Amino acid sequence: MKQFISLLFCLINAFAFSQDVVYIKVFAHLKVNAATFSVQKSTYNIIADDKVLLKDNGTTILKLTAINDSVEVKSFETVYGRFKNVKMVDQNGGGELKLKLVNPDRKQRIYPDNYNVSNELGNLKIINEVKLDNYIAGVVEAESGTASTPEFYKVQAILARTFALAHINKHLPEGFSLCDQVHCQAYYGKPRFEGITEMVLDTKGKVVVDENLNLIVAAFHSNSGGQTANSEDVWGTRTSYLKSVNDTFSTGMPNYKWERKMLTEDWLSYLKLKHNYPVDEASAKALALNFKQDTRKIYLEASNVKVPLKNVRQDLQLKSTYFNISKSGDSVIFEGKGYGHSLGMSQEGAMRMTKLGYSYTDVLNFYYRNIQIIDMRKLAFFRDE
Ligand SMILES: [Zn+2]
């Protein structure tokens, strides 16, 4: 019951912040000095410090520049002045605005819904005030590309929505919900493939919760190599849903196998210097040069020295921790399987499942254990009772 109430509060928060709208800081990794905006679809009111500057349906290109602590607004013909805050508000619904960074120079992108631009420490702070489903559609394309199955997009949509709602207040102290970088979820505006939005709407409101009705940590990766991992083995935290599963769906997919060659002396000195591994002991050395994982191991272990494979992966920039090692001349060969941290869903495995006709429910229940897929709107309704 306690968890149920905490989920309700979480959802109430999500709704209280604004109904079905999220506030995404775009180009969050850049210091933006100047950008142009133009209406692509619908009619917009351009509102500066709470006064309507103009109404536009695509005839005007506005240039906004950060000057001192304000935002200067001008078009080719007119300098409108300097303001604290500039809002661009869609009047008809379904609106889209083209955004082109001028300084620094970046390719144009199209964003749905509204904008709020202000000056933050001498730079433009551009917030896309976007309907949750439009945001999810952008994330789905950014995270899964354009060549996929409809059912796979639905899986990604549910995971992206689950993440967004679980982290809706991540940047609250900075005045927005989420940033557009992988720190939160990659989001580059409106998807180029229009069909994505439709598939997102097919999953409207659906999120994944654990057995206590808490939104799950919706971890996913590229390819599990045939076996996913336990969260406690990768992150040190046990969960009821990130459990190791045998995943034959990932077998043979593009990121299933990898190989890396390394000089034997480099490998042994790495083990010795970084991990104090006893390379001078014959049996320990033999193990380091001939290491096998039939199922996932967590350590390379000899004489009570445990070398965490996740550290080896990180230090040597390997695609996964699921590798065998064998000797070849003066080198060792790492023959690995999978790509990524291997927690939760394997994207390539999920893609294969949907191609074989499995539903998004099947996919989510396969990669996440003891979960439920629920409608967040129904929970919001319960709170009124
Ligand atoms: Zn972020």
Task: Convert the pLDDT of each residue in 238-251 to its tens digit.
Answer: 999 999 999 999 99
For residue 381, pLDDT over 60 is answered with no
**88 is a domain residue:** yes
**276 is a domain residue:** yes
State phi, psi for 218 to the nearest 5 degrees. -85, 65
Query: Which amino acid, residue 139?
Result: V
Boundary (domain end) residue, out of 114, 130, 146? 130
Interval between CA 23 and ligand 1 midpoint (Å): 11
pLDDT digits 0-9 by tens, 263-292: 999 999 999 999 999 999 999 999 999 999
**269 is a domain residue:** yes
For residue 8, pLDDT over 50 is answered with no
**2 is a domain residue:** no
Boundary (domain end) residue, out of 93, 115, 130? 130
At 380, is the pLDDT very low, low, confident or very high (cuts 50, 70, 90)? low
CATH number at residue 33: 2.60.200
Domains identified in the chain, total number: 2
**79 is a domain residue:** yes
| Predicted local distance difference test score (pLDDT) of residue 383 | 43
**250 is a domain residue:** no
At 377, is the pLDDT very low, low, confident or very high (cuts 50, 70, 90)? confident
Tell me if residue 373 falls in helix, strand or coil.
strand
Interval between CA 125 and ligand 1 midpoint (Å): 14
**285 is a domain residue:** yes
For residue 223, pLDDT over 50 is answered with yes
Interval between CA 35 and ligand 1 midpoint (Å): 21
Interval between CA 114 and ligand 1 midpoint (Å): 20
For residue 13, pLDDT over 70 is answered with no
Residue closest to 204 by CA, chosen among 170, 167, 160: 160
pTM over 0.85: yes
- Kindly list the protein residues that place their beta carbon closer than 5 angstroms to ligand 1, a single-atom ion: 179, 183-184
For 276, the domain range is 257-337
Judge if the upstream peptide bond of residue 104 is cis by omega within 30 degrees of 0. yes
Q: How far is CA 309 from CA 168, 275, 313, 316, in A?
A: 33, 11, 6, 10
Interval between CA 171 and ligand 1 midpoint (Å): 7
For residue 2, pLDDT over 60 is answered with no
pLDDT digits 0-9 by tens, 157-170: 999 999 999 999 89
CA pair distance 92, 313, nearest whole angstrom = 51
pLDDT digits 0-9 by tens, 199-212: 999 999 999 999 88
**188 is a domain residue:** no
Boundary (domain end) residue, out of 81, 103, 130? 130
| Predicted local distance difference test score (pLDDT) of residue 1 | 46
